[in-house]
């Protein structure tokens, strides 16, 4: 379980194709002494299991994760090559501040950026969600995009908009995002459960 509050920007420093999918080594500021093998870390919104970790020269550290074929098909993890920056978040612990919203790290699909406008104090993005997921994205609701908990500004069919403040741009990978980029999308699980309950008709 996560909150969508990014706490580090990692960088892919090694990439390997394996029979089950891919294995990547990610540079991070996280202290490897605090990372248990088998722990969960959200990498641009995708919950991954740590299979190795350690220290690098120059003061940075690393951890290693593997992505299965289903993950590569549903997310932008298939685009992770050496040099790729990733939003990172450690899993939520009891007593931690819930600064964003409850995020599972189970990405539903990819949304696509269809418009970007830079303003002096914010950046506007319009994204297009897959048709089957658009109904779970309400105006002023929460959505996780590349692991970042964000508030939806407006909705028009399959399109929805967000505004990002300088702090978010400075502390995530969003400053690099451009039109055409695929973004990992996880809809709010509360919206999903409410929709499912409304579909249920007792016999």
Burial per residue of 28-49, b for 16 or more beta-carbon CB atoms within 10 angstroms, e otherwise: bebeeeebeeeebbbbbbbbbe
Question: Active-site residue 173, yes or no?
Answer: no
Asked if 53 contacts 37 with a C-beta cutoff of 8 angstroms, the reply is yes
Question: Active-site residue 40, yes or no?
Answer: yes
Q: Across 93-194, where does the E strand assignment appear?
A: 109-119, 122-128, 142-145, 148-151, 154-156, 159-164, 182-187
What does the alpha-carbon distance between residue 69 and residue 93 come to, in Å, rounded to a whole number? Answer: 29
Question: Active-site residue 68, yes or no?
Answer: yes
Catalytic choice (2, 30, 125, 136)? 2
Catalytic choice (47, 53, 77, 129)? 47
Question: Active-site residue 151, yes or no?
Answer: yes
Say how many C-beta atoms besides its own lie within 10 A of residue 147's C-beta: 29
What does the alpha-carbon distance between residue 70 and residue 68 come to, in Å, rounded to a whole number? Answer: 6
Question: Active-site residue 106, yes or no?
Answer: yes
Catalytic choice (20, 49, 55, 195)? 49
Asked if 14 contacts 82 with a C-beta cutoff of 8 angstroms, the reply is yes
Catalytic choice (20, 55, 68, 195)? 68
Question: Active-site residue 75, yes or no?
Answer: no
Helix (H) or strand (E) holding 195: helix 189-199
The size of the chain, in residues, is: 203
Catalytic choice (20, 29, 52, 151)? 151
Question: Active-site residue 53, yes or no?
Answer: no
* Structural tokens at position 53: 């970790």
Which residues are catalytic, by number? 2, 40, 47, 49, 68, 106, 151
């Amino acid at each position: 379980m996560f909150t969508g509050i990014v706490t580090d920007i990692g960088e892919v420093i090694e990439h390997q194709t394996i029979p089950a999918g891919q294995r990547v080594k990610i540079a991070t500021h996280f202290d490897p002494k605090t990372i248990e093998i088998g722990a969960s870390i959200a990498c641009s919104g995708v919950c991954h299991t740590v299979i190795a970790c350690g220290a690098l020269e120059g003061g940075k550290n690393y951890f290693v994760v593997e992505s299965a074929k289903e993950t590569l098909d549903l997310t932008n993890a298939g685009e992770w090559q050496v040099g790729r920056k990733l939003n990172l978040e450690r899993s939520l612990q009891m007593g931690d501040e819930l600064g964003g919203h409850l995020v599972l790290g189970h990405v539903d699909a990819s949304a696509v950026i269809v418009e970007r406008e830079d303003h002096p104090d914010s950046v506007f993005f319009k994204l297009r969600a897959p048709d089957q997921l658009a109904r779970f994205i309400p105006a002023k609701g929460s959505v996780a995009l590349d692991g970042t908990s964000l508030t939806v500004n407006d909705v028009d069919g399959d399109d929805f908009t967000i505004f990002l403040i300088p702090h978010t741009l400075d502390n995530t990978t969003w400053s690099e995002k451009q039109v055409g980029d695929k973004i990992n999308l996880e809809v709010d699980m509360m919206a999903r459960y409410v929709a499912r309950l409304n579909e249920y008709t007792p016999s």
